[in-house]
């Protein structure tokens, strides 16, 4: 029989107990998974995490490209104005700087907002489906899944923060 150490009073409990015999605090559920089961769940979780990370970096690339396009457009527009309005160059320069700042703040906020929204939506649907299909196919419970997630994922993991959100 495995033992569970109470994290509040350090008492040793039988793993069949739901609450600490000494201080009555709730104990973490022990897992009935074998080492092999845990290993295969762990592999699945790691690969899900990997695909989340690559989706994130793809979305970052799209955001960066849009920023780059805005910057190019701004440079071309400023340059054209500078060449065409020879008598009002000071005003053109001032306007172009103001325009650039406004465009970057406005579009930057807008793009960032929609990127995050689109990414979250894609994650939700795709990943929830992948996880539930996997659990259905293998017969592991979602408690098993969460147990192994808590063991292998770090605090900064995108999968963990995704799971905490839903």
Select from 143, 149, 160, 153 the least CA-distant residue to 32: 143
Minimum CB–partner distance for residue 55 and Zn ion (Å): 42
Minimum CB–partner distance for residue 20 and Zn ion (Å): 3
In order, the DSSP letters of 2-53 are: -EEE-TTT--EEETT-SB-TTT-PBPPPPP---HHHHHHHHHHHHHHHHHHH
| CA gap 70, 67 in Å, rounded | 5
Q: Pattern 3-22, binding to Zn ion, x per CB under 5 A?
A: ---x-xx-x--------x-x
Minimum CB–partner distance for residue 17 and Zn ion (Å): 10
Residue 115: HSE in the Cβ half-sphere, 13 Å Cα cutoff: 19
Choose one: 1-9, 62-70, 101-109, 121-129; the region binding Zn ion (CB under 5 A). 1-9
Minimum CB–partner distance for residue 147 and Zn ion (Å): 20
Q: How many residues does the chain have?
A: 166
Does 27 bind Zn ion (CB under 5 A)? Our answer is: no
Closer residue to Zn ion, CB minimum distance, 27 or 127 = 27
> By the criterion CB under 5 A, which residues form the site for Zn ion?
6, 8-9, 11, 20, 22-23, 25
């Amino acid at each position: 029989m495995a033992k569970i150490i109470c994290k509040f009073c350090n008492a040793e409990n039988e793993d069949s107990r739901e609450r600490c015999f000494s201080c009555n605090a709730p104990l973490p559920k022990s897992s009935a998974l074998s080492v092999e089961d845990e290993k295969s769940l762990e592999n699945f979780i790691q690969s899900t995490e990997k695909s989340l990370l690559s989706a994130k970096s793809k979305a970052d690339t799209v955001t960066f490209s849009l920023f780059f396009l805005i910057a190019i457009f701004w440079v071309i527009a400023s340059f054209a104005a500078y060449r065409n309005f020879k008598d009002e160059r000071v005003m053109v320069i001032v306007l172009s700087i103001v325009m650039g700042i406004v465009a970057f703040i406005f579009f930057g906020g807008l793009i960032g907002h929609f990127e995050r929204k689109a990414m979250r939506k894609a994650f939700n649907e795709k990943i929830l489906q992948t996880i539930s299909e996997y659990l259905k196919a293998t017969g592991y419970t979602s408690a098993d899944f969460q147990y192994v997630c808590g063991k292998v994922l770090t605090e900064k993991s995108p999968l963990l923060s995704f799971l905490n959100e839903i």
